[in-house]
Amino acid sequence: MQRTFAKVLNIEQLTSHYFLITLMAPQLARTVQPGQFLHVRTGEQLDPLLRRPFSIHDWHSGEGTMQLLFQVKGKGTQLLSRKQKGEQLDVLGPLGNGFAITKKKGKALLIGGGIGEAPLWGLARTLKEAHWEVTIVLGAAKQTLLARHNDFSQWGETYIATEDGSVGFKGRVTNLLPLVAAEHLDQVYACGPKPLLAALYTWTNSNNLPLQVSLDEVMACGMGVCLGCVQPVGRKEAPVLAKVCTDGPVFSAEEVVWDD
Amino acid sequence: MINPDLTVKISSLTLKNPVMTASGTFGFGLEFANLLDLSSLGAVVVKGITLTPRQGNPGPRIVETAAGVLNAIGLENPGVEAFISDILPELLPHAVPIIVNISGNTLDEYGILAARLNETGVSALEVNISCPNVKEGGLVFGTVPEQAAQVVAAVRANTRLPVIVKLSPNVTDIVSISKSVEAAGADAVSLINTLLGMAIDTTKMKPVLGNVFGGLSGPAVKPVALRMVWQVSQAVSIPVIGMGGILSTEDALEFIMAGASAIAVGTGNFVNPQATVEIISGINSYCSEHEVNLKDLVGMAWEAN
């Protein structure tokens, strides 16, 4: 982990909600694991004060570049969306424990809800490069809450669902699961809203599949010192509070204590 | 002046410069070791330690507010024994004074904690009588002068280490508390701890924090902290360690001119994990440029008043 001032090489608005920013950060790009994140200071201002954590979307150690795919939600992401090519961004990273690739090769299912597609891109590329067979299922409320759904097919067969039917199947991600041949899978990875992750866990559990989930939590430091971003893990009756920033953000779904 | 004197004396302890870390914002220091040279700091004040391990409060524990942060961590820590056996051996080789922030539920617990930390290699104790996020002890001890004095006396009787007392801003008269802890044997006071506050989630129509209330820190509290440092430092003769929203050299100098002999960076560590070292270098440049030593600046703003 390092702090660096990364030059903005490009910033692109992909939909009315989503931006893709490309940074020059050679030191950081060298050691990234899929699912890790950057903690970004959105500017010198005191409000918003704290850094914002963003999953690393993609990186290229050779070129020294990294990409963040983000959704404009509040003041911090709004400021980030206004960055210009050539500006410097104060970033800390790579942080956290990413997705674990547990076998030499196999068949993986990647499931993203909304902006949850962000870390799956780098994961899909890594898996594909490791000769895994990848299937991707992405879903969102509407088309503008999906960013790169058309590009994901380069990593594997891709299924899309939107609740309003504006693109792909009309319905939820979970409605698409019967299309996937669960019995052939070795690993399921997911990132998205908690209720989606909980529903996926029910599904993977009943199909006896291992599931890794990337969780999102409000963070201050991003490096395990403020103890702000806790997630109950372990036994439901006597949970332990894990830190999403350094124990996660990726957890094995069976560790997580899911809300009822 | 090429090399201004930045040293600070707190009783028997000499710090090479006035910049410390505020408890709870720097972990045990080790987490920052690859971002900065720990030995360049005046001191590392570690996360609050209790006699037995504490799991802390349920989430959400943190929420950002205008130019500030509300937290309700609830003193999560591994307990004093694990601190001494697992953490301290890794920390001591960094050659920086380690100040241990201690919290008790009872007077006895404060005494036991103080005694247990003798001869462990730590440099001083910071007595937390001001945590707003725990039900017992904590803030209760910090708001009544007689009770605060009793805690200090219990610690004093059990340690030869310098005793720093961390004061709560959630009081009517911080001067009377500071005088009473000075009389009870405190070697220094540190202020301010966080201001009690809350936030409400209008979508969920309920308080944001799991603990309902939390402690406010960051630039939002700086004017309150400065005012209290100004008042306390003129009322006591022991050193005052000032903190509350320090992010820059400018902020640190304000506290020093208000009467702080040393300062601590807290929430600023989250915003810029290298803020402490940047401030040390900034204070050094400022003193060089103005041809003064640090102690010449302490309370400098009083005179003009």
The total number of structural domains that make up chain B: 1
ipTM for this model:
0.93
Instruction: Answer yes or no: is B138 within a domain.
Output: yes
The pLDDT, as a whole number, for residue A102 is 87
List C-alpha distances in Å: A219 to A4, A42, A246, B72. Answer: 19, 14, 11, 13
List the one residue out of A216, A48, A232 whose CA is nearest residue B210. Answer: A232
The Cβ-side half-sphere exposure at B175, using a 13 Å CA radius, reads 7
**Domains in chain A: boundaries:** 2-94, 107-216
Question: Which chain A residue has its CA at the smallest distance from B74's CA?
Answer: A227
- Mutation pick from A31, A38, A49, A88 vs chain B, by most beta carbons of B within 10 Å, is A49
3-state SS, residue B54: strand
How close A242 comes to chain B (CA, Å)? 10
Name the CATH superfamily, with its identifier, for domain A2-94: Translation factors (2.40.30.10)
Check whether B131 has a pLDDT greater than 70: no
Q: What is the Cα–Cα distance from A44 to B62, expressed in whole angstroms?
A: 21
Q: In angstroms, rounded to a whole number, what is the distance separating the alpha carbons of residues B250 and A148?
A: 45
Chain B nearest C-alpha distance from A232 (Å) = 9
| Subunit contact A221:B270, Cβ cutoff 8 A | yes
pLDDT score for B303: 83
Cβ-Cβ contacts under 8 Å, B218 against chain A: 46, 49
Look at residue A18 in the predicted model and tell me its pLDDT: 96
Section B18-30 average pLDDT: 97
Q: Is residue B63 part of a domain?
A: no
pLDDT surpasses 80 at B133: no
pLDDT at B230 over 90: yes
Task: Give the gap in angstroms from C-alpha A221 to the nearest C-alpha of chain B.
Answer: 4
Determine the Cα–Cα distance for residues A104 and A142; give it in Å rounded to an integer. Answer: 36
pLDDT digits (tens, 9 = 90+) for A224-258: 999 999 999 999 888 999 999 999 999 999 999 99
Mutation test of the interface with chain B: which of A51, A91, A226, choosing the one with the most B Cβ atoms within 10 A? A226
User: Are A180 and A134 a contacting pair, CB within 8 Å?
Assistant: no
Domain boundaries, position B119:
8-57+74-195+216-304
pTM, 2 dp: 0.94
Contacts of B133 in chain A (CB under 8 A): none
C-beta atoms of A228 and B68 within 8 A:
no
Number of Cβ atoms within 10 Å of the Cβ of B244: 31
Is A225–B66 a contact, with Cβ atoms under 8 angstroms apart? no
- B228 shares contact with chain A (CB less than 8 Å): no
Distance from CA of A228 to the nearest CA of B (A): 5
Is the Cβ–Cβ distance between A155 and A127 less than 8 Å?
Answer: yes
> Does the residue B207 lie in any domain?
no
Question: So what's the pLDDT on residue B178?
Answer: 97
The answer to whether residue B64 is domain-embedded is no
pLDDT value at residue A103 = 86
pLDDT tens readout for residues A202-223: 999 999 999 999 999 999 999 9
Asked if A47 lies within 8 A of B67 by C-beta distance, the reply is yes
Residue A104, pLDDT score: 87
With pLDDT > 90 as the criterion, what percentage of chain A qualifies? 92
- Domain CATH for B187: 3.20.20.70
CATH of domain A107-216: 3.40.50.80
CA distance B80 to B50: 6
Share the mean pLDDT of chain A: 95
Query: Is pLDDT at B11 greater than 90 in this prediction?
Result: yes
Q: Which residues of B40-65 are buried (b: 16+ CB within 10 A; e: fewer)?
A: ebbbbbbbbbbbeebebbebbbbbbb
Quote the pLDDT of residue A52. 97
pLDDT tens per residue, range B173-197: 999 999 999 999 999 999 999 999 9
Q: Is residue B150 part of a domain?
A: yes
Would you say residue A138 has pLDDT above 70? yes
In a domain, B86, yes or no: yes
Residue B298: phi and psi, rounded to 5, are: -65, 115
Instruction: Spell out which residues of chain A touch residue B64, defining contact as CB-CB under 8 Å.
Output: 48-50, 218, 220
Residues of B assigned a catalytic role: 131
Q: Residue B304: which pLDDT band, with cuts at 50, 70 and 90?
A: low
pLDDT at A180: 85
Query: How confident is the prediction for chain B on average, in pLDDT?
Result: 94
Give B-chain residues touching A231 at CB under 8 angstroms. 59
Residues of A in contact with B32 (CB under 8 A): 223, 225
The pLDDT of residue B134 is above 80: no
d(CA B244, CA B226): 8
CB of B268 less than 8 A from some CB of A = no
In the prediction, which pLDDT does A181 show? 82
Please report, rounded to a whole number, the percentage of residues in chain B having pLDDT higher than 70: 96
Chain A within 8 Å of B78 (Cβ-Cβ)?
A: no
What's the confidence (pLDDT) of residue B173? 94
Confidence band for B236, pLDDT divided at 50, 70 and 90: very high
Do the beta carbons of residue B163 and residue B186 sit within 8 Å?
yes
Residues 6+ apart with CB under 8 A from B283: B6, B17, B18, B19, B249, B252, B253, B256, B294
Q: Is residue B205 part of a domain?
A: no
Contact B34, A93 (CB under 8 A): no
